[in-house]
Structure 1
Amino acid sequence: MFRKTLRRSLQKGLKKTRNAVILGLSAAALICTPVFAQVRTPESSGSVTYSNGNAVIDASNASQGYVMVKYTGGTSRIKVRITKGTDYTYDLNASGNYEVFPLTEGSGTYTVKVFQQVQGTSYAQVMSQTINVNLADELSPFLYPNQFCNFRADSAVVSTAASITAGVSDPLSKVQAIYNYAVDNISYDYQKAATVQSGYLPVPDSTLASKTGICFDYAAVMTSMLRSQDIPTKLVIGYTGGAYHAWVSVYVTGQGWVDNIIYFDGVNWRYMDPTFASSGKGNAAITSYITNPANYQAKFTY
């Protein structure tokens, strides 16, 4: 009788232990499962459009911080200029497909112009449209993909960002994880930097695949990853010393925009310039340079 009772007790204990282990493993699996934030997808919904036979401007979602433009007039080289306080000039494909351009200077009146190449560096204006923009959220322009940080829900940068931030809920920790990934996994491509042509556009997924890139590639990868995790991020282009350069800034709830930052040491943020940090791992002189705000002058924000 005693043995039978003991056996039953042991069986019950083993069953409880097994169930606890299963629950523990299930919880661990849930914790480590990559979280795919809702990736914002630009739409040319057609509710507010302007056209003249040469180009179409879709401003249906200007309140979300972007316009979409396509050229329908032929196969010439095309440029788009968007102006509020600063002139932002972009190349536009001539294939008749929409491209996304951000409205990064807040609410107000923007002018969108489309130019067609006449010869060499000479261009003729083929369309001009004034658009009154009232942003629903001042952070929206820095959450959507655009021509300079181009990603979709099925992009490799999105799945990679979800994987490396799996189990992480704190935005600051996500920023640090993504920053560390960019620094540790992408090497600076000096040959590409020496031969890159004007008008170059980064392709974040290609940079991940090759594990090499120039400053523009680093910034585009990191911006795409952070935005895909619902962290407002600015891709900034300007000058560091006498060189044209690209870096990133992020928005942290309760703290605001953290500009030109590299890492959070528990008390203060430092420069988040993944290019120099990667090429100068452990170099005290480079660390000193990139933590000095005087060495960075922003020119454009995307």
Structure 2
Amino acid sequence: MVCLIAITVMVTPCLTACGQENELTEKVIAAEEVIIEGEAVPLANVPEKATILVPIASGTTTYEGGSVLMDASNTSQGYVMIKYTGKNDKIKVQVTKGSGTTYTYNLNARDAYEVFPLTEGDGSYSVKVFENLSGSKYSQAFSKSVNVKLTNQFLPFLYPNQYVNFTANSETVKQGLEVTKDTKDDLKKVELVYDYVVGGFTYDKVKAKTVASGYLPEVDNVLAKKKGICFDYAAVMTTMLRSQNIPCKLVVGYTGDIYHAWINVYTDESGWVDGMIFFDGNKWQMMDPTFASSGKKSESIMKYIGDGSNYTAKYAY
């Protein structure tokens, strides 16, 4: 089995919330029955404190339908908040920009808001909520269309969400600060985070064979066990970087026929770089990261990145 993690890196100024409301248009929907299959699990400046952006339901712009309440007050920050108050124990949320990729999430919270990111940039998003009928059959319970204009394109990749779930009190956040405390350079921070995770964690081959659809990494549990699949590795590294104001995508997709997760990080010097970190089935490897800061890309990296069959991104969280 081959599982890859890729990293890319970014230095950005501190990002602030914007109070601008986005135009929202309501859809009139008819009840419909759909089949929703479970998603496969991908196997593959020194801060004095962490920079944690906390998603909130501000209550400025809300929409309700049945047992669903959506708070769309902060779409300019790259997310909506959804609360389900009904009795159904299996709820799905689908987020789609235009006619593009549909992101399907489990709604895990009950009687509390849960955050759902808007990761495809500016534009019109459809947000739908489905209640389970039986098996993989779901009935649509709620639908809204949201027009999004982000305050900053990197905001969706700085906030926590269910795939990269952390708070200011997370041990993973604290450990990330400890690991990088001796440097102000963001590229060096990425290298140090990589060395810490890859050098100290063990790839869990048993978990890779038994993990079920709907699995979500719990970064503090992974940190405590020092063991996980590439999805876990990616979530831990993303947490450590986002919490230091380094925009970071947790990307899920394919390398050849293998479903896996990797990380893209951004810097002004390099932009987004794919394929920097990979798992060959035996050990993790990191290609020389210095090319990113200098703008020079090694022949081996460019050969790998340039082969479209190596990386096919499906989702970015």
Smaller-chain TM-score bracket: 0.7 to 0.9
Does 1:292 find its partner at 2:304?
yes
State the shift of 1:138 in Å: 0.3
Query: Structure 2: how far apart are the matches of 1:291 and 1:72?
Result: 51
Select the residue among 279, 283, 286 that pairs with 1:280: 283
Select the residue among 37, 49, 60 that pairs with 1:36: 49
Is residue 249–residue 259 contact of structure 1 (8 Å, CA) maintained in 2? yes
Query: Structure 2: how far apart are the matches of 1:281 and 1:95?
Result: 38
Greater C-alpha radius of gyration: 1
Show CA shifts across 1:107-145 (max 9, x none).
110010000000111000000000111100001001110
- Give the RMSD, CA atoms, in angstroms: 2.3
Any idea what SS the aligned residue of 2:312 has? Answer: strand
The answer to which structure, 1 or 2, has the higher relative contact order (CA under 8 A, 6+ apart) is 2
Q: Which one-letter code corresponds to 1:272 in the other structure?
A: I
- Between Structure 1 and Structure 2, how many residues are aligned? 256
Query: Structure 2: how far apart are the matches of 1:290 and 1:67?
Result: 37
Is residue 34–residue 163 contact of structure 1 (8 Å, CA) maintained in 2? no
Q: TM-score, normalised by structure 2?
A: 0.76
Is residue 183–residue 278 contact of structure 1 (8 Å, CA) maintained in 2? no
Select the residue among 235, 240, 265 that pairs with 2:250: 235
Q: Which one-letter code corresponds to 1:280 in the other structure?
A: K
Q: Does 250-259 or 217-226 show the bigger shift?
A: 250-259
Task: Map 1:72-111 onto structure 2 (within 5 A).
Answer: 72-84=85-97, 85-93=100-108, 95-111=110-126
Query: Structure 2: how far apart are the matches of 1:59 and 1:282?
Result: 41
Q: Give structure 1 stretches of 5+ with no counterpart.
A: 1-30, 261-270
Query: Structure 2: how far apart are the matches of 1:236 and 1:168?
Result: 26
Report the CA distance shift for 1:291/1:245 in structure 2 as closer, same or farther (over 3 A). farther
What is aligned with 1:159? 174
Is residue 74–residue 94 contact of structure 1 (8 Å, CA) maintained in 2? no
Select the residue among 273, 298, 305 that pairs with 1:258: 273
Query: Structure 1: how far apart are the matches of 2:152 and 2:301?
Result: 34
Q: Give structure 2 stretches of 5+ with no counterpart.
A: 1-44, 288-299
Percent identity over the alignment is 52
Any idea what SS the aligned residue of 1:163 has? Answer: helix
Is residue 183–residue 277 contact of structure 1 (8 Å, CA) maintained in 2? no
Query: Structure 1: how far apart are the matches of 2:243 and 2:282?
Result: 25
Higher helix share: 1
Query: Structure 2: how far apart are the matches of 1:164 and 1:249?
Result: 20
Q: TM-score, normalised by structure 1?
A: 0.80
